[in-house]
């Protein structure tokens, strides 16, 4: 069982937790990085960078806009149900 993903930062867990709380209220909840940053008190540019990285790794699903929602992999991480084999490598900064 993977306790933590080594390359994730504390803000990444904050983003996933925040999305999880709102996803439980409204199924398929999706939101922009600006909305996340306003609620977590981080700069929107930083949240935008982190949400892109989380999406490249498979923890978030990116929709048009850009808007994001939590994936099953993101839920598994939050629920501590992520196996070592499920842990994705850190996406490279220039990968799309």
pLDDT tens string for the chain (96 positions)?
A: 456 788 999 999 999 999 988 876 566 667 899 999 999 989 999 999 999 999 999 999 998 878 999 999 999 999 988 888 888 889 987 654
Phi, psi of 94 (to 5 degrees): -100, 5
Options 3.40.228.10, 2.40.110.10, 1.10.10.10, 1.10.600.10; which CATH number does 10-80 get?
1.10.10.10
Instruction: Specify the pTM.
Output: 0.86
Output the pLDDT for position 70.
Answer: 92
Output the pLDDT for position 1.
Answer: 47
Chain centre distance of CA 12: 6
């Amino acid at each position: 069982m993977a306790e933590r993903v080594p390359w994730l930062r504390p803000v990444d867990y904050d983003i996933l937790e925040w999305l999880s709380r709102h996803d439980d209220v409204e199924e398929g909840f999706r939101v922009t990085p600006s909305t996340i940053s306003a609620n977590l008190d981080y700069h929107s540019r930083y949240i935008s960078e982190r949400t892109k990285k989380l999406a490249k790794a498979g923890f978030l699903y990116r929709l048009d806009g850009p808007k994001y929602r939590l994936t099953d992999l993101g839920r598994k991480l939050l629920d501590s149900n992520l196996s070592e084999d499920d842990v994705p490598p850190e996406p490279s900064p220039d990968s799309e």
